[in-house]
Amino acid sequence: MNQPIGKSDIEATDLTPIPNLTAEDEAWIRQLAQIANTTALKLKLFEGDNDEDDPIVRFDERSGKWWAGRYIGEVHFQGRTLRILPRFGMPLLQRWLSCIWGVRLFLTKGKYENSRVWLWQLLAKLWEAQLLIASKHGLPTKRFDELHYGQTLRGRIQTKLTADEFSTGSHNLVSQTRNRHIDNRIGGIIVHAFEILRRELRYFGDERSWLTQHAQNLTMQFRSYITRQQATAAAKSQIPIRYTPITENYRSIVELSLGIIRHHPFSSAGSGSSDVLGILIDMAEVWELYVYHLLRTGLQDVEVIHAGRNREVNNFLLRSTNTQDRLGGLKPDILVCEFHTNRLLAILDAKYKTTTPSPERPRGILREDLYQLASYLASFGNSKEMLSGGLVYPATQATVDILDLQDKSPWKLSGAERQLWFFGMISQETAESGRNLTPNEWIFVKLVQDTFQTYRNVKQAV
């Protein structure tokens, strides 16, 4: 059965003040903030150059309150738990993840947010979604050479080994075949992660209660080929996995599985322990991937590049005229380019931040975000051609400031053929976690297309 929230547990939502803290709670959170290593606790959804990690919690001097950072998940310290839920709600997070992985997610109905296993449910659905995508064209196999000894040939005869057999009085023929087998490293890591998920979700019953039939069949196939000892060895191995064109689709599920394995057990800190255990999911990473997949799905006749995953996409703000040394590395989130010509049309940065006005940001936008995008626009593309850039924030009907900035877009950068656009994407909390875009998602995609479509039409007319 599910375990209720303990009396000593603290619950919050990301990027919001933590409510109802006692003096004892604040002392505990202060100590947690000093000792917690966000990098060690964060489960990466993709391999790439990410933004610098934020603290799990921070103290705001102006309001005198503790705020949760941009992560969701659970951390356990000295026998207590800090649980951080998504501020836009679990159904909306489910929608975003469905768009990212292209698989419809179904989580347990009801108030699973109030269960200690809610994060494992989320991880299990992420894991299943990636497994289904990876296995679309079959299981991960590699070719292995196998020798056969006997009276008949199987494959190519091995002349020297056969002669050695005859020299000892044996009349065995030695032959070699090249056969396909499940990749033990990939399969072992997947099986080990599955065993962890099954153990953590045992309160719901066996895997039939949280895996679809197709995913159950896949895990059964893996477990029929991979022994428990092989799975443990694969999980502990430090040797990098060499992917082939056949197994490349499994890279994402392997990375997620390794993240689950490395962070386990995330919920077993004993009372009085000085260790901080937990798993955190970076909502900035989720938001970036969500925006990227929306654009890749909705935009036509252009190439959408996720620069965070592409190590070759980068630039520099400054370059020495004497030595060609470079300073100020730049790596936007998303690039939109023309097919064939590869001309850069737009640069977008996904910002999972609040846009509520404050004395530090009267219009709801941090100045550093403006400077960052302006640097991208100054350093990428042909300086003589039009280039658009956009900042994409999550929005609701109540976040009127970002919507006002969006209505007044584009904003022209002084002295250059560059335009800056603001996007406040309103997400529907009741949206189902399917593949079809919602009306508000289509509105966002159309707005992004408008940033460069007029210029493209003029070029084509010329």
Q: Do 96 and 19 fall within a single domain?
A: yes
Residues 313 and 339 in one domain: yes
Helix 90-101 / helix 283-298 crossing angle, nearest 10 deg: 50
Do 159 and 93 fall within a single domain? Answer: no
- 157 domain residue, yes or no: yes
Domain boundary among 254, 282, 310: 282
Tokens of 433: 């976690």
| 47 part of a folded domain | yes
Element (H, E) at 72: strand 71-77
- The boundaries of the domain holding residue 315 are 299-461
Residue 119: inside a domain? no
Please check whether residues 52 and 156 belong to one and the same domain. no
Answer with the one of 282, 314, 349 that is the final residue of a domain: 282
157 and 16 part of one domain: no
Q: What is the pLDDT of residue 353?
A: 93
Give 10-residue mean pLDDT values along the chain (462 residues): 56 94 95 88 67 85 93 88 90 84 56 58 85 89 78 84 86 79 90 92 80 91 92 92 89 88 56 67 92 93 82 64 71 90 92 88 89 89 86 87 92 81 80 69 93 67 45
Q: What's the pLDDT score for residue 309?
A: 58
The pLDDT of residue 104: 61
Domain membership flag for residue 439: yes
Beta bridge partner(s), residue 174: 149
> What pLDDT is recorded for position 271?
39
Looking at the structure, do residues 404 and 323 belong to the same domain, yes or no?
Answer: yes
pLDDT number for residue 148: 79
Number of domains forming the structure of the chain: 3
370 plus 340 within the same structural domain: yes
Q: Which two tokens stand for residue 25?
A: 């709670």
Hey, what's the torsion of the CAs at 176, 177, 183, 185, to 10 degrees? 0
DSSP 393: E
The reply to whether 127 falls in a domain is no
Q: Is residue 350 part of a domain?
A: yes
- Structural domain includes residue 382: yes
Verify cis geometry, omega within 30 degrees of 0, for the bond prior to 410. Answer: yes
- Pair 34, 3 in one domain: yes
149 lies in the same domain as 277: no
Judgement on whether residues 108 and 152 belong to the same structural domain of the protein: no
Measure the CA angle with vertex 317, ends 313 and 319; round to 5°.
Answer: 105
Spatial strand order in the sheet of 173-182: 141-150, 173-182, 156-157
Residues in the chain: 462
Q: Which pTM value belongs to this model?
A: 0.76
Q: Are residue 75 and residue 154 in the same domain, yes or no?
A: no
Which of 182, 207, 231 terminates a domain? The answer is: 182
Q: Is 285 exposed, middle or buried (0-12, 13-18, 19+ CB in 10 A)?
A: buried
Q: Is the peptide bond before 86 cis (omega within 30 degrees of 0)?
A: no
Shared domain check, 172 and 147: yes
**Is residue 217 assigned to a domain?**
no
